[in-house]
Structure 1
Amino acid sequence: MEIMKYMEKYDYEQLIFCQDRESGLKAFICIHDTTLGPALGGLRMWTYESEEAAIEDALRLARGMTYKNAVAGLNLGGGKTVIMGDPKKDKNEAMFRALGRFIQGLNGRYITAEDVGTTVEDMDIIHEETDYVTGISAEFGSSGNPSPVTAYGVYKGMKAAAKVAFGSDSLEGKTIAVQGVGHVAYALLEHLHKEGARLIVTDINEEAVKRAVEAFGAKAVDPKDIYGVDCDIFSPCALGAVINDETIPQLKAKVVAGSANNQLKDERHGDILHEKGIIYAPDYVINAGGVINVADELLGYNRERALKKVEGLYDRLLEIFEISAREGIPTYKAADRLAEERIAKMKNARSTFLKNEKSLLNRR
């Protein structure tokens, strides 16, 4: 991977390598764009095969956060941090405190939060070293675990997609295949079960699957079989790149709507879904509930206000689906356009302000 060429192609601002030998910290902080405000994006810890794989993930996720925050109407840019390591056995206090110091050194350009492989407790440790962290424990006046709010946004977005695909946003009686049964997916399953959906689940964690089967009467299938099950909606809620050349031919669903980031392996896979008439809810839009929730902490957290903003994802997705239908373009392109238009308008407005500010300084 030619890192600088990749960063130039997508106009990244900064990539920071972070290392602490004593704690074992090996991390990468990526800041994609700060036009709208400081970069906000979670901290992921994963067993990456190589440094290159970790960097590529950080870059992709950071850019996704720029678009997510822009479409969600937040005054925040996009960034992401990844730690190389096994979240089940490699975590330690010193690791997160060291990372907190690196984040503090960025002086507010980047604000972190929890993501795959990290927890509220991890954020509390980081908070010992920096104020630039969200999703910490409620005891600190924070919103706590954002997973339930992310799930609520996915649920609302799924209903919007169902309205376009089936003529009604009711999920009662719909068969929904959920890939992954982590924190977000479990909370999503609660909403779907309550509305009367028929559920199919899978996960590499057998205990998580068993829990969903017992709680919601879900049907369990092998991870490799989830793509081809008979269902109305396929909901990717695990890792990314699951919509690809191998899986698309297996899909029987009319809707793809889930919480996972970077669901499309390549943009052309969004084109293929569009050509097949499958309604795709762009991942960074439908899963924006969590970032909307933690962003509200920056204003002094108010849960009712945050949930009202999350409910707005329903209308934002309907807007994206309408643009897609009207202009005959894939939904991911419609979402990208909304994000890019907002960033461009703000970049122009802020550049004008900066020019005026410079002129005032020159007069002194």
Structure 2
Amino acid sequence: MYQEYKEGTYVIEHEDADIWVAKNLKQDQVNYYYGGTRTVPHNYSKDQAYEVISYLRNYESGLKNLLINEAIQNGVFEKDKERLPIGFSNSIVGGGRCIIQPKTKEIESIILDTMHPRHKEVIDSLFKTLGDFLENQDGVIKLTPDFGKFAGLADMLYQYTDNVLGIRCEDGGCGGKASYTSTGIIAAIEAMGYGKDYAGPVTLIGSNGACGIGVLAYLMEKGYKDIAVADLFYDDNPELTKELGGKGVKILPGIKGKFTDECLCRGGLIVATTTGGELLNSNLSVIKDGTVLLLAHNEAIPVTQEALDTVEEILNKKNICIIPGQLLTFGGALTSRLEWFFRANRKEKELFNKEQAHDSVRKVTNFCFKVHVEGKERTNLFRRLFSMVD
């Protein structure tokens, strides 16, 4: 059973959780709507849950897919379309999203604890209900369950519906999406000119997360000479910090919910592969002119006039460049789109072309930076991108 909470947003009933699914009806004439999945706290009100899913549907999944659509429509893949999956090179995908709101604190803890004896049972039951809903939508909505650091969630949902992306390679999927996201971030680093000069300071915040690990490996492999990292994980893992220190990597303090002064004052390139929301909670007065901030997450600032005005004030005071995450982290969304059209035409036992996917991410990143960043380094890029949705 489900009900339409507001137009385009549905709440699916389950004994353990409310499962919210949304599609962006402003984007019509699409092949399908697509987005990820996350959990929200059990004690959120319905208004709070709706606010979260609306933001993610419109300004995360929706905006990323708008950028990908724009690149496709401007011929980024014109020379490659014979090699790409049939249907991909003229595809249009809209923003979708799913959030799972546990009904009790106990269920919330079970969902978030992979070692709990009831974890698989609860997730499986939720996914059966979600899968039935997606099947009844006739393929209009497709999702990737990717909350937390839990491997194999997409494969669990795949038991109940084909309308899930990011499944294992044996079944024609792209596998985990983190590496494709890392590729987009790395392509952005190079698009900003840092792939030619390895001497300047580079600071990676959130360096031990799924994407951060990939970016750090790239920086070290390329021989960047002044790398500093910050991650809360290091606080309880001195052996890892010692290992990194032995390779010439500086370890800086990290604080949940903000960027530390030690990170911001280094100047040069700062890459944040964090959970988001830190920018406006940080002491931005210590940032040096010329700093480039790549905020490689999807919720850098709220979509409010106040937040946009604050970014404007920062850019007026400082000669810096702030790149929103939607220009950096669409690698998973793009690869999932490639996966869907590949699976639709897949020959038996044929594997997804990962190399082609990484190359596609680099091409779209380069296009986006030429269109939205070059010559606009001191522009409020948040305002520019958010206006694409509005």
Q: Which bracket does the TM-score occupy, shorter chain normalised?
A: 0.7 to 0.9
State the SS of the aligned residue for 2:295. Answer: coil
Query: Deviations for 1:15-37, whole angstroms, at most 9, x for unmatched residues?
Result: 1112310xx13221121244243
1:27-84 CA-partner distances (Å, limit 9, x unpaired): 2112124424311111113446513433322111111211111112362100111113
Name the SS of the counterpart of 1:20 in structure 2. Answer: coil
**Letter of the structure 2 residue corresponding to residue 248 of structure 1:** L
Contact in 2 for aligned 1:159/1:314 (Cα 8 Å): no
Equivalent residue number for residue 335 of structure 1: 385
Which amino acid in the other structure matches residue 244 of structure 1?
L
For residues 281 and 222 of structure 1, do their structure 2 counterparts lie closer, same or farther at Cα, with a shift above 3 Å needed?
Answer: closer
Q: Distance in 2 between matches of 1:153 and 1:290?
A: 9
CA–CA separation in structure 2 for the residues paired with 1:81 and 1:127:
15
Match of 2:62 in 1: 66
SS in 1 for 2:174: coil
Match of 2:129 among 98, 101, 111: 98
- 8 Å contact kept, 2:204–2:212: no
Determine the C-alpha separation between the residues in 2 that align with 1:38 and 1:210: 47
Q: 1:194-253 CA deviation, whole Å, 9 max, x = no partner?
A: 223302212267467864763564514131574312322332222222221544345448
The verdict on how the C-alpha distance between 1:203 and 1:32 changes in structure 2, with shifts beyond 3 A counting, is farther
| 1:111 alignment partner AA | K
The aligned amino acid for 1:221 is P
Which position in structure 2 is the counterpart of 1:228?
A: 261
Q: Find the partner of 1:80 among 97, 101, 106.
A: 97
How has the CA–CA distance of structure 1 residues 153 and 223 changed in structure 2, closer, same or farther, with 3 Å as cutoff? Answer: same
Alignment of 1:137-286 (within 5 A): 137-161=168-192, 163=193, 169-179=196-206, 181-197=208-224, 198-203=227-232, 206=235, 211=240, 214=243, 217-223=249-255, 226-229=259-262, 230-231=265-266, 232-244=268-280, 246-252=282-288, 254-265=291-302, 266-275=307-316, 276-286=318-328
Return the offset for 1:153.
0.5
Match of 2:37 in 1: 43
1:309 alignment counterpart: 360
Q: Give the TM-score normalised by structure 1.
A: 0.78
**Residues 143 and 163, structure 2, Cα contact 8 Å, conserved in 1:** yes
CA RMSD of aligned residues (A): 3.0
Contact 1:44 1:118 in 2 (8 A): no
Q: Say if 1:329 and 1:43 are closer, same or farther in 2 by CA, change over 3 A.
A: same
Q: Pick from 367, 371, 376 the counterpart of residue 324 of structure 1.
A: 376
Q: In structure 2, the residue corresponding to 1:190 is in which secondary structure?
A: helix
Deviation at 1:323, TM superposition (A): 5.4
In structure 2, the CA distance between the partners of 1:138 and 1:233, relative to structure 1 (3 Å rule), is same
Which amino acid in structure 2 is aligned with residue 192 of structure 1? L
* Contact map agreement 2:207 2:230 (CA 8 A) in 1: yes
After superposition, the C-alpha distances for 1:111-154 in whole angstroms (9 at most, x for unaligned) are 10143326441111111111111001112110100101101101
Deviation, structure 1 residue 183: 0.9
- Give me the whole-angstrom Cα distance separating, in 2, the residues matched to 1:212 and 1:62: 38
Would the aligned equivalents of 1:43 and 1:118 in 2 still touch at CA under 8 Å? no
The structure in which a higher percent of residues are helix is 1
Which secondary structure does the structure 2 equivalent of 1:324 belong to? coil
Q: Any conservation in 2 of the 1:150–1:289 contact (CA below 8 Å)? A: yes
Q: Which amino acid aligns with 1:239?
A: T
> What is the identity, as a one-letter code, of the residue corresponding to 2:301?
L
Report the 3-state secondary structure (helix = DSSP H, G, I; strand = E; otherwise coil) of the residue aligned with 1:112: strand
After the TM superposition, which of the residue ranges 191-200 and 209-218 deviates more from structure 2?
A: 209-218
- Mapped to 2, the partners of 1:278 and 1:92 lie a distance apart of 44
Count of paired positions: 323
Which secondary structure state, in structure 2, belongs to the residue aligned with residue 135 of structure 1? coil
Instruction: Show the counterpart of 2:12.
Output: 18
Q: What is the deviation of 1:331?
A: 1.9
User: Contact 1:135/1:142 (CA < 8 Å) preserved in 2?
Assistant: yes
Q: Give the TM-score of the pair, scaled to structure 2.
A: 0.73
What amino acid sits opposite 1:227 in the alignment? Answer: T
Structure 2: distance between partners of 1:260 and 1:213: 28
Decide whether aligned partners of structure 1 residues 188 and 210 sit closer, same or farther in structure 2, where only a CA change above 3 A counts: farther
Please state whether the residue corresponding to 1:170 is helix, strand or coil. Answer: coil
Q: Which has the higher contact order (CA 8 A, sep 6+)?
A: 2
Write the distance in 1 (CA, Å) between the matches of 2:138 and 2:99. 19
1:54 alignment partner, one of 49, 56, 59: 49
Q: Is the 8 Å Cα contact of residues 142 and 164 (structure 2) preserved in structure 1?
A: yes
| Letter of the 1:77 counterpart | G
